[in-house]
Amino acid sequence: MKTVQSFAVIALLTLGLRSFAQDQEASVQNGHVEFTAVGKPAMLKIHGKSLGPTGKISVSKGRISGVLKLELKGIATGIDLRDEHMKKKYLQVDLFPVAELLIKDMDVNVGKFSDFSGTLKDQNFTGDLTLHGVRKSIHGVYEVQSEGSLLKIHATYQFKLSDFNIEIPSYAGIKVADSVTVETSFEVPKK
């Protein structure tokens, strides 16, 4: 019986080690974030951009997970006054300088980044977004593309400002719609 138990333990450990050996962690690079909001009633498209995010993601059991962080003070919409209002009054970046996206389950069906080839499109993922001091689940769509020594990942998701206790921005008769669309793209070295 002891032999059986020992075998089982060794087998589990071996499997575990094998699984661990398949895990891979990497820092994201060349990150880029864009968001789109709509100003009503003028149907004004407000398009913000920022470099980032930074962070690390890992692949384990065929799934990508990790934490990405974005310094909110780097967001720019092309108009200084609007940026100032957005950061100071609404996002309150002095109090909440960073937005954090916890990626839970981007399915890539490989054990290592280096094993991925080709392109995956229109895949669903879930995550937790922490913004303005509030953490909420989000759902999004992602795409992974292998290009040379890099994996290029592009994710899109929406959130509601009201879910994160952010006052709906309003200025001189233009009111921003509650829903905001975010697109983030970054690269991961395969090795």
Partner 1 sequence: MRPLVFFLMTYACQAWAFPELIRFQYNNCTACHVAPSGGGTLTSYGRSLSSEVLSTWGSEKEAGFLHGILDREALEKWILPGGDIRAVQVHREDENSKSGRFIKMQADVSAAVVDDRWAVAATVGDLDVDTWNSYSTSYYGMLKPYDELSIRAGRFTPQYGLYIRDHIAFIRSFLGFGLDANRDVEEVQWTGLVWTTSLSYSKQFNIVYPESAYSFQSQYFFADSYKIALNYWKGRSELMERDVLGFWSLFGFTQKVFWLNEVDWQNKKVGDLITRSFVTYQKLGYTLVKGLDLLLLGEFQKGDLSDASTEINRYGLGFQFYPRPHFELSGAWTKQKTLALTTGREADYAWLLLHYYL
Q: According to CB under 8 A, which one of 1, 2, 20, 80 is a site residue for partner 1?
A: 80
Q: Which is nearer to partner 1, 36 or 114 (CB)?
A: 36
Q: How many CA atoms lie within 13 A of 178 on its CB side?
A: 5
Alpha-carbon distance values, 96 to 73, 75, 90, 160, 164 (Å): 10, 14, 11, 17, 12
Q: Is 173 in the site for partner 1 (CB under 8 A)?
A: yes
Q: Which is nearer to partner 1, 81 or 95 (CB)?
A: 81
Show the 3-state SS of 65-111. Answer: EEEEEEEHHHCECCCHHHHHHHHHHHCCCCCCCEEEEEEEEEECCCC
Q: Is 171 in the site for partner 1 (CB under 8 A)?
A: yes
Q: In angstroms, what is the minimal distance from the CB of 172 to partner 1?
A: 4
Q: Is 40 in the site for partner 1 (CB under 8 A)?
A: yes
Q: Could you give the CA distance from residue 31 to residue 181 in angstroms, rounded to a whole number?
A: 17
User: Contact region for partner 1 (CB under 8 A) — 41-49, 108-116, 122-130, 148-156?
Assistant: 41-49
Q: Is 78 in the site for partner 1 (CB under 8 A)?
A: yes
Q: Which is nearer to partner 1, 49 or 112 (CB)?
A: 49
Q: Is 140 in the site for partner 1 (CB under 8 A)?
A: no
Q: Is 18 in the site for partner 1 (CB under 8 A)?
A: no
What does the block give as tokens for 63? Answer: 């799934």
User: Contact region for partner 1 (CB under 8 A) — 10-18, 40-48, 155-163, 178-186?
Assistant: 40-48
Q: What share of the chain is helix, strand, coil (3-state, %, to 5)?
A: 20, 55, 25
**Size of site (CB under 8 A) for partner 1:** 20
Q: According to CB under 8 A, which one of 9, 12, 17, 79 is a site residue for partner 1?
A: 79
Q: Is 39 in the site for partner 1 (CB under 8 A)?
A: yes
Q: Could you give the CA distance from residue 187 to residue 32 in angstroms, rounded to a whole number?
A: 10
For residue 79, report the phi and psi dihedrals to the nearest 5 degrees: -130, 120
What is the rounded end-to-end Cα distance, in angstroms, of the chain? 43
Q: Which is nearer to partner 1, 47 or 135 (CB)?
A: 47
Residues making contact with partner 1 (CB under 8 A): 38-47, 77-82, 171-174
